[in-house]
Each structure stands twice: as C-alpha cells, then as structure tokens.
Structure 1
Amino acid sequence: MSLPTEPIGSIPRSPALLAGIADHAAGRIDKSSLDGLYDEALRDTIGTLESLGSPVVTDGEQTKPSFVTYPLAGLDNLAPDGAVIPFADGHTRQLPRLAAGPFRYAAHCGDYLRAARRHATVPVKQAVIAPSALSLLYPQDGIAGYSRDEFLDDLVDEAEADIRGALDAGAHTVQLDFTEGRLSIKLDPSGGVLESFVALNNRVLDRFTEVERARIGVHTCPGGDQDSTHSLDVDYTALLPHLFAIHAGVFYVQLASEPDPDRVLAAIATHLRPDQRVFVGVTDPIDPVVESPALVRDRVLRAAEHLPPDRLGTCDDCGFAPFGDDTSTSRDVAFAKVRARIEGTALASEALGT
C-alpha cells in the first residue's frame, strides 16, 4: 500500500473565472452565467487532479470567496472593520466584524462537497474553516444583548453542523483550516490565545465519535497569501504541543518551507499521539520553483527517519490560493507541484517498501 497523499484545498482560479466574477460584480453578466463558469472551473479542477493521479481530490475552493469567509457570504449582521491580519510583505487581509447576534452560517460545506462529487470518480476531501478562526469575528468591546458566551455557543453549533454535513455527504476526510494557530503565538506569546483556540475547537470535535474523528483533520501553516506569510517567523515548536492536543485523527503540517525540518519532525514525533496520522508538506506553494519528484521523495524519506511510515502521509504545505483573488501562483505551476508531490510520494513508498 502506498503512502497516502492529499491536496490541502485551494487551486488558483483561472483567468476566465476571475474575469467572470468581476463581470458579475459589475453587472455585465447574470448569476446563471457566473454559475456556469463556476461549474466549468470545478469540473476542470477535479478532472485535472484526477488526470495527475491524485488518489483524493478537492474542489480547489473554486466557488468560495476565501477559505475563511465562505460561511459569511450574504449575512446582514456584519460590519467590514474586523480583525486585521498583517503579512510579512506588508499587505493585509481584514475579517468582517459581527455587529449583532445571533451568529449563523449562511453557507455550509456539504453543498460544496455534493457539487464536487458530481464530477469526481475518486474520494473527495472537504476543507472547512476552524471555529477558532471565526471566533475572531466577535468584537473585543462586545455586542449589546449578545454576550461572547452566547456567540461561542452558536459558533460551536454551526461549526458542528458544517463538519457533520460534510461527513454525512460522503467526505473522505474533513479538514479544519487552522492557520490562526501559529499566528496566535505572535499575537500572544504567552500562549493563552492559542490555548483558548484549542479548547474551542475541541468543544466542537468532542461532539463527534472516535470513528468520526478519525476522518477529521487539522491543517496548520504560516498563512500563505500572495507569496507571503503571516507567521513563518514564529517558532513552530511553540505550536506543535498544542496542535496535537486537538482531538482530531489527522494532521496536515506545513514542512517544505521550514528552514530546519529535522527539528520540526523531532517535535512532531514527540507529541503525535498513537491514534493520529500526520501528513507532512512536501511542496511549497509560495516558492515559484517546481519541486522535482526526487526532491519530494527525499523529503518524505527524511520524515520517515522520525515518523513510522504507517502513520505518515504527504500534502502540499498550504492551499495555492486560499483567497479567491490571489493570482501570485498560476494554475499550471500549482498542478505541476501537485504532480511532483504525487510522483515523489510514490518514489518514497517504493523506497520504504510500503
């Protein structure tokens, strides 16, 4: 049996789709025309991943505005002036702010999954946003008549429904995107915010059975966007003990862009629990150079020096375009890196005799 390999999520949108989104926003095309472009992008993304030999595919997040804001589109109780996330190159992303309660999701990932499965002939994984990320929507000065505790209760209910809907719709795995974990250490070096994030995520995950949690994963990376990151300078080993305290069965860990992978792998080996599997990142979406299959193989074999092969898999470090308007990486480069990951993982499997 070969080592498992999975994509993280997003694939860059095509120029045709980006133009169509702009045309719809400007009123030049109707929603039906835009939906046609979305469906073609979805079909092409899944078809290309399958043609590369990907044993598991995603929808490439082609129809999401971003990996974090998909549950919010259309809500009328948001203000635009929420938390600001600064990136190393100076650009920022800003979340909305919840202006009034109650908090509800406007969209759930089960719908994305069902659309993807119409085009797929192999298992489909579904990325969802971690509840800890959406907890940042609540303002520090509170909301009159709607306490933070009430908000968190609603958020836990909505996050459970999002995950459960994807599992019930037949997801191979459900992946919680937890990029805010590493960022929280920069914002609060004491680790208090990170601990609160882990506790919140576990409130949700503890509503699932052990069998269900084996199909639920957590992805961590330093927040790639427009060829920059928000927390690559944060010591990974400050995050990892808390990461593996999350009650999930699978972890997708950015590693290819780490300057000292052996140090990170040693920490993973120390904290990985017996019931958990780790997928290590072997391609760097921010690096424009496409990895060779041989380089991917060597990265996997390095990981296997620290981790047993039967608990090891491979992935990309991050999605290639977590925000829909990110054009810093082309689709061609993204798919070339995916091919290298798949072929390099196969080479490593052969070398390990798995």
Structure 2
Amino acid sequence: MSIPTEPIGSIPRPASLLAALAGHAEGRVKDGELAALQEKAVADTIGRLERIGCPVVVDGEQAKPSFATYPVAGLETLDPDGAVIPFADGHTRQLPRLAEGPFRYATRADTYLLAARRHTDLPVKQAVIAPSALSLLYPAEGLDGYSREEFLDDLVAEAETDIRACLDAGAHVVQLDFTEGRLSLKLDPSGGLLDDFVALNNRVLERFTAAERARIGVHTCPGGDQDSTHSADVDYADLLPRLFRLRAGNFYVQLASEPDRERVLAVIADVLPADARIFVGVVDPIDPVVETSEQVRDRVLEAARHIPPERLGTCDDCGFAPFADDTSTSRETAFAKINARLEGTRLAEQALGL
C-alpha cells in the first residue's frame, strides 16, 4: 500500500483461552494445555488478519500476560506491590516491584515473534515494552547492594537485547510501547520525568544503526484498558515535541479518539522529525461503534493535510486488549475495526491519487 497500515498489537483473546488462563491461575489447567490454546489463538489471529487483507500482521499478544509485564513474568526477584496506575473510571493496574538485583528479562519478545512466523509468510510486527516503563520496577527507596544506576545499566542492556533479537529474527518492525510517556506528564507536569524517560529510551535506541532504527517505532497513547484511559486529559502539545526526540524511524500516534484531531495534527506538522514516518490512529478500540471505511478515509485525508502522504501511515489508536483479562472489547469488534482501517486507508489512497 502507498500509505502503509499496521496494527498496534493486542487483540482480544478467544473465550476458550480466557477460560484456560483463569483455570491456569487456579491450578486447574496445566502449562502444556495452556500453551496449546495460546498457539491455536495465535494461528487463528494471524489467519483472520490475513483473510481481511492485512499487509503486516501481529500475533495479537495472545500468549503475553500483558503488554507491559511479559519480560518479568515468572521472575522470583519481584514483589507484587509496585507502582499503581489509576484509570479514569476508577480501576487500577499495579506493576510489580524489584526486590533484589541484578535485573534480567525472564522472557524475550522474539519467542513470540518466532512462534508467530510459523503461521505466516507475511511481514510480522513485534511489540516490546519500552525500557522507561520497566524503570518503574525499581523501588523509590532503593535496594541494598544494587544501585539505581546499576539497575538502569542492566535495563538498557536487556532492552537492547530484546529489540535486537526481534530484528535478527526477521521482525518487519519492532514497536516500543510507550504509554507511560503521556502518563508521566500527569505525574510530573514539569516534564522532568518525561525527559528522563526519553533519555533512557534513547540510551537504548542509540545502540542501533540508522538502518536498524528505520525498523524501530514508538507507540504513544493515553492508555487503553477496560474502556478507560489513564492520561487522555494530558495535552498532546506538551508531549509530542519531547516524544519526537526519540531516535526512532516510526511513530504510532493515537488520534482517532482525540477531541480535536486537527489541533494535534498541527502540532505534529510543527515538530515532525526528519526522516520519520507518522502512523496516525484512525480507529478507536475503546469506542464500541465500528467505524465505517468512509469515516476512516476522511480521517486519513484530514491527516494528509498536515503530514506529507509519503511520511504518513495508519494504525489503530491502541491495542484492543493490552492486559490478558480485558474483555471490554469483543474479538469480532476488533477485527471489524481493523477491516475498516484497511478499507478506509485504501479509499484515502484512491482519493489522493496514490
């Protein structure tokens, strides 16, 4: 496609997998049985994306416990009482807390990528968690014998290895999920925390060549979980100039659910980084109404008035179920919205004469 279009990552799990996950947590479902159902869900997800014409596919994060915690799932050096993330509807998510060092990933994202590639010959995109999110695992009071500086050095090395393994395994693109970027401005309106996050992520990105960074992207959104967000009230104008300092080749920007898209697009046009492509969100996973292809077309044409078409792409605003237990959006609705994104992007290409 002349205007590339990509999913963000997660897709709601089938009911059979959700039941198995609950049974596994209660000890009623064995590891092997759960793994078989996860593999089946990956194959079904990729197959359905292929059938509706996705040029780039994902595994839908069917085997991830969450987009954020997959690297540390099963680590024995964690306590459960870490940072709490509040959402607008009152529910919260809690991260674990590192109890001792050194910090190491227990699971790497290339394991998901290699499993996905067994089911398709199409390009496969792999989402990874940004190191800035995992930096929140280190306790504010510190750890005896393991300084924050040592932790960050280990984290940077682990994040680089995670991304590089995906690139080496043939990922079409590796996407850093950076939802904490917008949230950081709610926690610290001065922007100091955001600057720290950007600097940390750049410590990782700067370890890659320009050609490699062209296959690395960053996704930003106000969080999307159980039909709620954690930072939609934070002004994009405060985030985007700092976000675009990240040394990535692609940026995936939630936009469909913004109340004033034209204003956000004007900000993007003012601070558009050199040589980067901007993928704008054209469907809203939180809205239960499925967009029409004409609505998507119009959103793409709106974006093309601000962003040169050769620098433009489309995506979903966010993942549809970033946490495994999120059932707020049905699997059928997710695929219908993805199909609208594909068809609307094609209509926009025709309207632009591409």
Give the Cα separation in 2 of the matches to 1:274 and 1:4: 18
The structural deviation recorded for 1:29 is: 2.6
Q: Deviations over 1:301-353 (max 9, x none)?
A: 00000010000000000000000000000000000000000000000011111
Pairing 1:193–2:204 present: no
Q: Distance in 2 between matches of 1:88 and 1:81?
A: 21
Paired residue secondary structure (2:176): strand
CA distance in 2, matches of 1:21, 1:258: 33
Which residues of structure 1 form unaligned runs of 5+?
A: none
Deviations 1:151-187 (A, max 9, x none): 0000000000000000000000000000000000000
* Segments ≥4 residues shifted beyond 3 Å: none
Q: CA deviation at 1:230?
A: 0.1
**Which residue in the other structure is 2:5 paired with?**
5
| In structure 2, distance between residues paired with 1:23 and 1:95 | 22
Matching residue of 1:66: 66
1:193-240 deviation per Cα after TM superposition (whole angstroms, max 9, x unaligned):
000000000000000000000000000000000000000000011000
Shift of 1:34: 1.1
The normalised TM-score by structure 2 is 0.99
- Residue type of the alignment partner of 2:144: A
Map 1:278-297; keep pairs closer than 5 Å. 278-297=278-297
**CA–CA separation in structure 2 for the residues paired with 1:30 and 1:264:** 48
**1:251 counterpart SS class:** strand
Per-residue CA deviations over 1:113-138 (Å, capped at 9, x if unaligned) read: 00000001210000000000000000
Q: Describe how 1:200-211 pairs up with structure 2 within 5 A.
A: 200-211=200-211
User: Matches of 1:180 and 1:159 in 2, distance apart?
Assistant: 16
User: For the residues of structure 2 that align with 1:34 and 1:239, how far apart are their CA atoms?
Assistant: 40
Partner deviation per Cα, 1:64-120 (whole Å, 9 max, x = no partner): 000000001111110011000000000000000001000000000111100000001
Offset of 1:46 from its aligned partner? 0.4
Tell me the CA shift for residue 267 of structure 1: 0.6
Alignment of 1:1-354 (within 5 A): 1-354=1-354
Query: TM-score w.r.t. structure 1 length?
Result: 0.99
Aligned-partner Cα distance in 1 for 2:82–2:31: 28
Q: Tell me, in whole angstroms, the C-alpha distance in 2 between the residues paired with 1:179 and 1:8.
A: 12
User: How far apart, CA to CA, are the structure 1 residues paired with 2:152 and 2:168?
Assistant: 24
Q: Which moved more, 1:154-163 or 1:32-41?
A: 32-41
Counterpart AA for 1:58:
V
> 1: CA distance between counterparts of 2:150 and 2:14?
41
| Distance in 1 (alpha carbons) for counterparts of 2:260 and 2:110 | 38
Work out the percentage of aligned pairs sharing the same amino acid.
73
Q: CA deviation at 1:32?
A: 1.5
SS at match of 1:315: strand
**Distance in 2, Cα, partners of 1:238 & 1:120:** 40
Classify the secondary structure of the residue corresponding to 1:81.
coil
Secondary structure at 1:194's aligned position in 2?
A: helix
The whole-number CA distance in structure 1 between the counterparts of 2:30 and 2:191 is 48
Amino acid aligned to 1:126:
Q
Structure 2 CA distance for aligned equivalents of residues 223 and 40 of structure 1: 28
What SS is found at the alignment partner of 2:16? Answer: helix
Number of positions where the alignment pairs a residue of Structure 1 with one of Structure 2: 354
SS at match of 2:74: coil
Question: Which AA in structure 1 matches 2:90?
Answer: G
Unaligned runs of 5+ in 2: none
Deviates more, 1:19-28 or 1:169-178: 19-28
Q: Provide the rounded CA distance (Å) in 2 between the counterparts of 1:308 and 1:85.
A: 36
Deviation at 1:26, TM superposition (A): 2.2
- CA shift at 1:2, angstroms? 2.4
Matched residue type, 2:109: C
Q: Distance in 1 between matches of 2:29 and 2:219?
A: 36
